[in-house]
Structure 1
Amino acid sequence: MNENSRLHTHSNIRNTFFSEIGIGISGNSFLLLFHIIKFFRGHRPRLTDLPIGLLSLIHLLMLLVAAVIATDIFISWRGWNDIICKFLVYLYRSLRGLSLCTTSMLSVLQAIILSPRSYCLAKFKRKSSHNISCAIIFLSVLYMSISSHLLISITATPNLTMNDFLYVSQSCSLLPLSYLMQSIYSTLLVLREVFLIGLMVLSTSYMVALLYMHRKQAQNLQGTSLSLKASAEQRATQTILMLMTFFVLMSIFDSIVSCSRTMFLDDPTSYSIHIFVMHIYATVSPFVFISTEKHIVNILRG
C-alpha cells in the first residue's frame, strides 16, 4: 500500500490542514460578503474591486473543493468512482489556475491605475476593467484546456497496488502519462507559469519605480495634496506588491516541494507539506485585503 494512504493516521497533519482550510474559507467568505454588500449599497466601485471580489470567490470555491478532497485523504474510506474523481480534481486544478490568472491580472491592473496621465499605460484606465475581464476569461479557458488531460489521467484507485500510480487521495490516483504527453503538458505548464509570473514581476517592478518617483517628486515640491495622493497610492500598491511577492515565493516553494514529491513517491511527509503549502496564499490573501479596507478596520476597532 502506498505510504501516502496512511495520512489519515496523522492527526496533527489532519488538524493543521483543516485549520488552515477553515481560516481560509472564513476570510474569503467575509471578503466576498463585504464586496457584495458594498455593491448593493451603491458604493462607487474601484477598478480593483472586481478582480479582488473574483479572487475571493475563486479561493473560497477552491478551499471548499480542497476540503472535500481532504476528507478522502485523512478519513479512512474509499467511496468515489471515476466520475467523481475526475470532476473534483479537474475542478480543483482549474480553480488554482484561475487564482494564478486573476492574481496576475490584478497586478497589471494596479500598475495601470498607478500610471500618471502622461504615461502610455494610462490610456488603458477607462477600458481596463473590461480588458482585464476579457483577459481573465481568455487565460482561464486556455488553462482549463491545458488541464483537460486530467479528465483522462485521473481515475479511481484500483484495488491492485501499482507503484506507477501517483497518489491523489485514497479513492483517486493519477495514471502515468507517456513521455511525449508528459513533456507536452510540462512545457505548456511552464510556459503558462513563466508568462503569468513574468507579468507580475514586470508590473511589480514598474510600480516600485513609480512609487520611488512619486516620493522623490513629493519631497522636492513639498506639496500636501501630492503627498496625500502618493500616500493613498502607496497603501493600495504596497498591498498588491506584498501579495505578489508572497505569491511568487509560495509558487517557488510549491514547485520545490512538488519536485521532491515526484522524486520520493512514497514519502507521506513531502505530500503533507505539499498540500499545506498549496493553500497558504488562498488562506492569507483575504486578510491582507481586509486589513486595507478602512470601513472594515473602523468597524473592527469600534
Structure 2
Amino acid sequence: MSKISVYVIIKNMYFLQSGIGILANVSLLFFHVFTIHLVHRPRPTDIMTCHLAFVHIVMLLTTLDILSEDMFRLLNFSNEFKCKLVLYMSRVSRDLSISTTCLLTIVQVITISPSSFYLSRFKRKLTKHVAIAFFCIWSLNLSSNSNMIIYTVAHSNRTNLFNVSKHCSRSSMNSIIMALYFLLVLSQNVFFVGMMLLSSMYMVIFLYSHQRKSAYLHSISISLRISPAKRATRTVLLLVSFFVVMYCVDIVISFLSSILWRYEPLVLYVQTLVGNAYATVSPLVLISSDKSVIGILQKMLL
C-alpha cells in the first residue's frame, strides 16, 4: 500500500472520528442539560459531565486540520490572529480535558466515601466546591497556555519555525523560557494524572471491598443489584484507564513529531487520532452507562 493511500485512509478515519465525537458529545451535553433542567438540583457528576462534554466539543472543533483551507479563509480575521486563536483554544481545551477528568475522579471518590473518610466533609457542599474547582482549572489553563498566543505565527519564509499545520507555525523560544514552560506543563500534567491514579486506586479498593461484602450477603441468600454508585465508579475507572493509555501513546507520538521539526501530515493525523480518541470514546461510555440517558433515548425512538 502506497504512502498516499495510507494518508487518505488515516485522513478519512480522522474526519469520521471527529464527526462521531462531536455528535456524541453534543448528545451527552443535551441530555444532561435537559436532566439538570428537570431536576433543578443537579448532582455534581452531572455538572462535571456537562463540562467535560463542552470541553471535548471545543477540542474536536479546534483541532487544527479539521479546519479546511476554505473554512480557514471564511474566518474574517488576519491569518496571524486565526492561528493564535485556534492553537490556543485547542491547547486549553486539551488541558481542561485532563483537569476535568481528574476532578471527576475526585468527585466520585468523595461521593462514594464513607462518613469516616477525610474527604466526606466536602459532600454537603460538593456543588459549591465543584464551581470553585472549575474557576481554578480555567484560570490555570488559560494562563499556563498563554505562550501559545505569543509564539504562534502564520506561515512565513522564516526558517526557525516549527510547522504545526498547513497554516500555522510556532516560533522558537528562548532556551530558559522553554525549560520553564516544559517544567510547568510537566508538573501540571504529572499532578493531574497522579491524582487520577490515586483516586482510581481508592475506587478499586472500594469496589473490591464492596464485592466481598456483596459475596457474603449473597451467600446468605440476599439478592443485590448493582448500586448506582458502584456503576458510576466502574464507569469513571474505565474512563481513567482509557485516558491514561491514550495519554501515554500521545506523549510518544508528540516526542517523535518534535524530532521531525516540520509539518508532516501523516504524523499529524495519527497524533490527532490518538489525541482525540478519549474525547470521542468518553461520551459514548458515559451515555451507555447512564440509565436516565438510555431511558430518554428509548422514549425518543418509540
DSSP-derived class of the 2:43 partner: coil
The letter for the 2-side match of 1:215 is: Q
Do structure 1's residue 177 and structure 2's residue 167 form an aligned pair?
no
Give the letter aligned to residue 232 of structure 2: A
Kindly report which structure 2 residues correspond to 1:1-302, keeping only aligned pairs within 5 A, or say none: 10-42=7-39, 44-66=41-63, 69-72=65-68, 81-158=79-156, 160=157, 162=159, 164-222=160-218, 227-228=224-225, 231-266=227-262, 267-298=264-295, 299-300=297-298
| Contact 1:51–1:106 (CA under 8 A) maintained in structure 2 | yes
The CA distance in 1 between the partners of 2:162 and 2:8, in whole Å, is 23
TM-score under structure 1 length normalisation = 0.88
User: Cα RMSD over matched residues?
Assistant: 2.7
Contact 2:44 2:130 in 1 (8 A): no
Q: Give the Å deviation of 1:33.
A: 0.7
On the 8 A contact 1:85/1:156 being kept in 2, the answer is: yes
Deviations for 1:125-169, whole angstroms, at most 9, x for unmatched residues?
A: 1122221221232122112211101111000110x262x311122
d(CA) in 2 for partners of 1:201, 1:178: 34
Whole-Å separation in 1 of the counterparts to 2:41 and 2:211: 28
Q: Percent identity?
A: 32
Conservation of the 8 A alpha-carbon contact between 1:157 and 1:172:
yes
Q: Secondary structure at the match of 2:47?
A: helix
Q: State TM-score, norm by structure 2.
A: 0.88
The answer to whether the 8 Å contact 2:65/2:166 transfers is no
Q: Which moved more, 1:129-138 or 1:189-198?
A: 129-138
> Which has the larger displacement, 19-28 or 90-99?
90-99
Contact persistence 1:27–1:283 (CA under 8 A) = yes
Q: Deviations over 1:261-298 (max 9, x none)?
A: 11123444322211221111101110000001213334
Q: What is the one-letter code of the residue matched to 1:208?
A: V
**How many residues were matched structurally?**
292
Choose 40-49 or 17-26, whichever is displaced more.
40-49
